[in-house]
Each structure stands twice: as C-alpha cells, then as structure tokens.
Amino acid sequence: MSIWDTLFNRAPAYDPAEGPNFRFGRYTDAYKSPENYVAWDASLTAFENGDYLESCASFMAYLRDEQEDNVKWHREDEKLYFEFYQGSKRVTGFADAGQLRASADIAMLKGNNADLLHRLTSLNYEMKYSRFAIKGQDCLSIVFDTPTNDASPYKLYHALKEMALNADKQDDLLLDEFSEYLSPTEVTHLRELSPEDKARKLEFLRSRIQGVIDHLAAGRINPEEQPGAVAYLLLDLVYRLDYLLIPEGYTMEALERMHRMYFAREEDQPVTYKNIRLLSELQHLLRRAPESFAQELYAGKSTFGITLPANHDRLANLIDNELPNMDWYQDNSFPTVAQAIPGYVVGYALFNYAVPPPDRDLLQLYYRICENEYFRGLGYKQQFLERDGRPARRAIRAAISDIAERHSATYPRLRPGLSQLNFSNLLDFGRSYLFMIRELDLSKP
C-alpha cells in the first residue's frame, strides 16, 4: 500500500494470489479443459474399436483435474491400474481383458449390528451400479464391477460417480450413527485444518445461526403473515453455511436435507411449516458438540461434482425472478430481509449450478465482500469493507476488473458495468452488483 493509500484510507488493488489456499463451495467437474474432451473422444473411439484398456486409460485422462491432482493410472502387462479421490475416500481399481473392478474402503467393522446391516441393504437397493460389501472379514467397502467389454465411457462415468459420491457421503454418516460398530479407515490423504481455523468456522456457524434466531425472536417479522421473509433469511443462511464452511458428514447432509425439504413438491406443506422445520434443523446444528463439527472439517481432493451445468441465462432468470422482491421489504423497513435476497440468489446458484466461470468468480466475490471479517480471520489480507461498513469501492472494482481480465480470452465480450455499482451500503450494493452480473455478455466468438 502506498503512502497515499494509507493517508486517505484507501484499499490496495486486488491481488488474487493473496491469502491462504482455501477452497470454498462444492467441487464441480463441469469445468473440463480441452485436453479432457480430447481424452473423452479418444476413450469413445478406443472402446468402439475394441481396445478396452486404452479406452479405460483415456477415460481416466478425461477425469483428471490437474489442479486437484485427483486421478492416477498406469499399465502393467495386460492390466490397467487406477485410483482417484472423492473427498474423504480413495477409490482404487483395475481393468484387464475380462473385467473392470473398483472399490473404496468405507470403515472397519468392530462388530455386527442388525440396524447397520439393514441400512446397508437399503442403500444397496437405492444404487444402480454399485453395492456395499464386506471385504475380507472386517472391512466395509463399496464395490463396482463390470465386464470390460461393457465398460463404455458413458457407463463408467455414471457408475464411478455413483460409487464415489456414496463412498464419500456415507462413510461420515455411518461412522456418526454407528460409531460403536465402525471405525475410520484410509484417511491419510486428507489435509487437516488447523485448530484455529476450525474454531473460526465453528464461531461463524454459531454466530450466524444465532443471529437469525435472535432476529426472528425480536418479533419484527410475523412468521404467519410473512413466511416468505422468514424463508429468505433461513435459505440465505443455509447456502452461506454450506459454501463458506464446506462441512462434511452430518452437517453437510443436514444442509442438503434442508434444501430438499424446502423445495419438495408437497402441496399439503405450507411455507410456514417448512420454515419451522428449517429452523428446527438449524437449532440442532447449533446444539451439536463442537468436537463433532470439528471432525467434519478437512480438505480433500475430488473427482465428481453434483452441481448441474447452467448457462448465464439461467442465472439471469434467477436474478430477474428474485431481485424485484427486495423493493417491498426495503420500502417497508425490513432491510435485513431485503439484504438476504441477493444472498439467497448467490447461494442458490452456487449450491445448485455450475455456472460459467466468470459468473462463478463474481458470485464468490460477493460472499468475499459481505463476509469480509470472516475471510480476514482466515488469513486473507484484502479489505473489501470500509471501517464504516460500506463496500470498499477501489478494492471491489479492482477485483471485478481482474476477474474480467482472467476470462477475457474465452469471453471477449465480458465487460462488467462498474459504473452502475452503488457503494452507499451493502444493501444497495447487493442489488446493483447482481444487476451488473445479470447484464454480462458471456457469448463466445
């Protein structure tokens, strides 16, 4: 920072490389490189020509994410060996002339339990390609196998994705529920967060949930007359916790369950009832033991994602549908609800969709701005709010310009309308920021 920036309390220019290397939000495999697509075509061609091992090798190249370093494979004689990572789990396997087989160890069995076996049987019934099995005498695994001549790239993608996502999800859930009969296995590849970072995330979880509970308890909002206002506050919170904390296990499943429950098409459940259930789930998260939440915080590599690819028009429609609702709440002195609406739009988009990379980076920047102190506590140096709480004009404009520059080769018409941003306060900024995103031209030449 120059002496002039210090004297006039101006934020330094944006540096995208500053701060620790945290990943926020859920992993998506929607952003493939040109090399990945070349490998996919090669896999299809090899399979059609009957070269099944070469098809499998090219398929692994299609899955590989260089930044994640998530997939490895090699050939020995007439066998192909491979391994890839999905969160807390490592999937290993091989393919030869006769079959392809993959497995992931879930947990070690410490004893038999009828409820556990019933749960595993039910899970097997729900899966299309893979199954839970006991390897050896005491290792609970999830397994997929198929004749090699039936292992087309399309089948492999759906089968290995089903297997990997279930392995990553169910190990935490089963260990949490059946801890007396199961113990963890094969977690050496995970990177533990520091105790300080875990404490910051726990404090963020508790303070944000308690803040919404206190706001509703103050009585300013009538939950019977204004269920939509309550829903905006709760869903904004759910998506914010999911994106910024990236929890695994019980907390991740609870947040997903809240999303599924709210948007379930059940005509006999009014919004007021859904709000009560959301609030109950959040209160339960608030009461959980700190050590239980701490065990769900770790960094791993991933290969498959669950978010659906979506174009810019999908995000623009979401903004068009939701942002006008800010007007009534702002005009009738409900600023907290009005400010939750841009947060809801950002969170809903990041939770459900793999939007184009410029949209993704700009939506992430919105969280970075609104949760400035949280990011600063994690070690990020850039200041996006002024001391009086107003958005920091210079730092934000620099960050947006940097995002546009990084994507200019792929999106040459990407020119964010910085002049339309309103930096008066976070509420007006959120509205103008999403309108700026809505107007972006992401067409390609």
Domain range enclosing 76: 34-183
Separation CA 285–CA 295 (nearest Å): 14
Do 234 and 345 lie in one domain? The reply is: yes
Number of domains in the chain: 2
- CB of 202 within 8 A of CB of 293? yes
DSSP string of 284-310, one letter each residue: HHHHS-HHHHHTT-EE-B-S---SEE-
- CB of 143 within 8 A of CB of 129? no
- CB of 238 within 8 A of CB of 278? yes
Q: Is there a domain that residue 162 lies in?
A: yes
Compute the half-sphere exposure of residue 438: CA atoms within 13 Å on the CB side of its CA: 19
Phi/psi for 13 (5° steps) reads: -60, 155
Q: Is there a domain that residue 422 lies in?
A: yes
Do 209 and 164 lie in one domain? The reply is: no
CATH number at residue 166: 3.30.1460.10
Do 131 and 259 lie in one domain? The reply is: no
pTM listed for this prediction: 0.89
pLDDT digit of tens for each residue in the chain (445 aa)?
A: 333 343 334 444 455 446 677 778 888 898 899 999 999 999 999 999 999 999 999 999 999 999 889 999 999 988 999 999 998 889 999 999 999 999 999 888 887 888 888 989 999 999 999 999 988 778 899 999 999 999 999 999 999 999 999 998 888 788 888 888 888 776 656 677 889 999 999 999 999 999 999 999 988 898 999 999 999 999 999 999 999 998 888 888 899 999 999 998 876 788 999 999 999 999 999 998 888 888 888 777 899 988 888 999 999 999 999 999 999 999 999 999 999 999 999 999 999 999 999 999 999 999 999 999 999 999 988 999 999 999 999 999 999 999 999 999 999 999 999 999 999 999 999 999 999 999 999 998 7
Separation CA 137–CA 121 (nearest Å): 18
